[in-house]
Amino acid sequence: MGEGLEVAPDEGSGVLRVSDQAFPVARAAEADALHGASQGARARYVLAFDTANEVIAIGLGALHGESRTVEVVACAEASAHRASNTQLLPRIDALLAEQGVARGELACIVVGRGPGSFTGVRIAMATAKGVASALGVGLVGVSSLDAVAWNAQAAGVRGPLAVVADAMRKEVYPVRYQLTGEGVCRLGADRVVKAEAAAAELAACATETPRLAVTGDALAKYADLFAPAGEPLPSELWAPTGRGLLQALQAAWRAGEADPFDAARHNPAFALPVYTRLSDAEENERIRLAKNDPKNLAAGVQDVAPRRDQRASMHDTAILNARPAADGIVYKPLDAAHAAAVSALEAQVMGSDAWNEHLVADELPRPDRVWWAAYDGEQLLGYAGGWVVDGQVQILKVGVDPSQRRRGIARELLARVAADARNLGAATCSLEVRAGNVGAQAFYEALGFHTLGTRPRYYSDGEDALIMEGPLPLAPHDVAGMQLQVDAARAEAAVRVGDLRGDVAGEEPARPAVARPLILAIESSCDETAAAIVDGEGNLVADIVASQVDFHARFGGVVPEIASRKHIEAICGVCDECLDVAAAHLGLEHLTWSDLDAVAVTYAPGLMGALMVGVAFAKGAAWGAGKPLIGVNHLEGHLYANKIGAPDFEPPAVVSLVSGGNTMLVHMRGWGDYETLGATIDDAVGEAFDKVAKALGLGYPGGPVISQQAALGNPDAIAFPRAMMHSGDLRFSLSGLKTAVVTYINNERDAGREPNVPDIAASFQQAVVDVQVKKAEMALRQTGARTFCLGGGVAANPVLRDAYQALCKRLHVRLTLPPLSACGDNAGMIALVALDRYYAGKFCPLDADAQAHANLDEPY
């Protein structure tokens, strides 16, 4: 196992052989048994991998603590065009098995953080987080571009080097390095630049001696464009390699920036991808807000559910729908319409150093600037802005209304600026503060800042400025700033006497135990990151949800890219909390991944990027813990949610699935035996609620606010159409109803009348309910089922629940309703499905993947 030893490839393929074994008999599990990892074999290896582009790179290294060196044991690279999530773990499993290294011998996981393909980076990061969490080891993130540079250095390249990775959209990630016999020196921060601009920038250095070497996968597209800039390296040096990842770790270790043996320092929860830019939705938002449009004046500062006398006009349909925090303060990106208000507050708190309105407005369109503001109604409470340059965000301004201080506004504004700056490539933060402002200095010191030096006579009155530097002042959350929802009512289990792993004579005093198996389930199909644990008797001993709704509200709906990013940030914290809550309910000191019997995850249907994060993490955790993996259909989870409120619920039954993405009637002939009787031919019910709420200016999500307004209105006020109510089949259509509502609103305004929001909401809601109930009655009569139940987020609608109660009472049919907390997406329902699949032995292999669509009627 010395330097340079590589795994033998398949004949003629040039790629590592892949195990096609399922989880229960994975090849690395055999190595675990052979090496006795469960008996405490000393961890001394590091596993590194990267999928930032079209290549899977894997490296296995031996750690030597005294010399802080990483000995390369084995490396493998393989092309994986859009197949990283299916190939990564099988290749890792095969590599460790062929080297005879057990998973328990891994002391650390190293992952390429990017920049690169957003999807590819997230697959590697989510997998690494799962593996490291399950093994209880540290996770060290290294730059994928650094790995390319280190591989070039190992190949003998010396002198100036530029790595240019493909960033899509005719952009690249360019970073310059200096390579010597001793190592690699990075000369710039991660950033995203138009390919033509990057090529011109590098071409300006073409006079250097020796000539600049150029590498990176962007050369596959832009070889001619970068030809004048320098000498291209061979294509085999364009992508990250296992060797490059291990060498990047060694460099960080020797520099004191990483310690592969320090798991606490490298908690997997805090490892994040490198993006270098905001999501498309956020970038477009910034462009819009930089324009001094009067419509922006109301952006994000209205109530989510306005009172009758505060209804938003149709002219405000493009506004942001930011939701207030617990203290009623709304935080949103600063817009040009509020530049004058910022200037006025500047004059109040900054004195002669205040910026005028034009200076503030000039900042907003700049792509390297980040500005946030805090409001109470229309009153500006505070603002903060930063400039992202060379991997650092320089805080330009922080101002808070003196009457609003000591409410945490400055800290929250800085956290918002820092979060955006991180996504733009910043890793640290700097600022200037008056030498005499002791209070502000103490505030920054509490955030981890330290003083670097002084700028003499920096301020207009001649006072010195202290230069302070520190980490990004992110919010102190490990679940991406989301509030954790712990359903204590459902997290109950019967605790029995006995050891968690079984009673064995002569062992230490037994600990409390639960009925086996213990299964942890993960749900990430849309904008909730959730985890739950179920025991063998169907008791949910923990059920945790972290909702992203506040992050999506300002866009009026779920933004898939933001959802994926937030899942990556939150998933470790949510699972850790789930394990802790379960341990407390079971009377245990702690509960780990190794104490579980299986890991389950929603694999379909849903947002592909969001599902992929959950699946990759769950696969990594299951592999790391040596446990089987169970895939669950999200829609089946909503069927099982009825067991949460009624444990004795059994099919046959008719189920109405009504959510943001689905409207369907299902005949449950038995568990796992389903027939879709009818579904929507266009919009889903939840989608229609969201669109009508947006048209009324009520904010997002639409279901709750429509329901609130409808309670104040007359459901018979407006005769909206009941589409397909008498079609004779069980299909639905919501598009026509939605269009009718929007048309009615526009006609009212054209006539000079302000629409009556409560009456519109009530009439729209009643039109939906009437069709749903009519079709449900048809389904019950058609199937002869004596039980009816609900599933999905819209199942929480009180008018719909009441209407179904009346229907079932009239038909003498049992009605089963999930608790309100179980109507939305949650992992408890996924765990209940997983329990049955565990007993049936339905496990997933290492190459399992997420699917955006899945037919509920087809067994899986």
Tokens of 671: 């568990």
Question: Is there a binding annotation on residue 242?
Answer: no
Which DSSP string do the residues of 557-613 spell out, in sequence order? S--HHHHHHHHHHHHHHHHHHHHHHHHHHHT-S---GGG-SEEEEEEESS-HHHHHH
Q: Measure the CA–CA gap between 424 and 274, rounded to whole angstroms.
A: 8
> CA separation (Å) from 424 to 122, 189, 418?
16, 11, 10
Q: What are phi and psi of 250, to 5 degrees?
A: -60, -40
Question: Is there a binding annotation on residue 638?
Answer: yes
Q: Measure the CA–CA gap between 813 and 810, rounded to whole angstroms.
A: 8
Counting every residue written for the chain, the total comes to 860
Closest CA to 269 of 110, 130, 143: 130
> CA separation (Å) from 32 to 37, 99, 208?
5, 12, 52
Question: Is there a binding annotation on residue 112?
Answer: no
Question: Is there a binding annotation on residue 356?
Answer: no
Q: Measure the CA–CA gap between 419 and 31, rounded to whole angstroms.
A: 42
Question: Is there a binding annotation on residue 660?
Answer: yes
| Element (DSSP H or E) covering residue 702 | helix 702-710
8 Å CB contact between 320 and 698: no
Question: Within 10 A of 236 (CB to CB), how many other CB atoms are there?
Answer: 11
Tokens of 256: 């004191």
Closest CA to 626 of 33, 14, 10: 33
Question: Is there a binding annotation on residue 382?
Answer: no
Question: Is there a binding annotation on residue 230?
Answer: no
8 Å CB contact between 382 and 413: yes
Q: Measure the CA–CA gap between 451 and 442, rounded to whole angstroms.
A: 11
8 Å CB contact between 593 and 625: yes
Closest CA to 710 of 757, 764, 762, 756: 762
> CA separation (Å) from 220 to 15, 223, 227?
20, 6, 12
Which DSSP string do the residues of 260-289 spell out, in sequence order? TT-TTTT-GGG-----SS--HHHHHHHHHH
Closest CA to 49 of 222, 246, 235: 246
Question: Is there a binding annotation on residue 657?
Answer: yes
8 Å CB contact between 701 and 750: no
**Partners of 464 in beta bridges:** none
List CB contacts of 134: < 8 A, sequence separation 6 or more.
593, 594, 620, 621, 622, 623, 624, 625
| Element (DSSP H or E) covering residue 471 | strand 465-471
Question: Is there a binding annotation on residue 703?
Answer: yes
Tokens of 744: 């009615």
Which DSSP string do the residues of 623-674 spell out, in sequence order? HHHT--EEEEEHHHHHHHTHHHH-TT--SSEEEEEESSS-EEEEEEEETTEE
Question: Is there a binding annotation on residue 166?
Answer: no
Question: Is there a binding annotation on residue 797?
Answer: yes
Q: Measure the CA–CA gap between 457 and 448, rounded to whole angstroms.
A: 25
Which DSSP string do the residues of 221-264 spell out, in sequence order? HHHHHHGGGSEEPPGGGSS--HHHHHHHHHHHHHTTS--TT-TT
> CA separation (Å) from 800 to 203, 597, 735, 769?
66, 39, 19, 6
Q: Measure the CA–CA gap between 804 and 796, rounded to whole angstroms.
A: 12
Q: Which residues are annotated as a binding site?
A: 634, 638, 657-661, 690, 703, 797, 825
Task: Extract the annotated binding site for substrate.
Answer: 657-661, 690, 703, 797
Instruction: List binding-site positions for Fe cation.
Output: 634, 638, 825
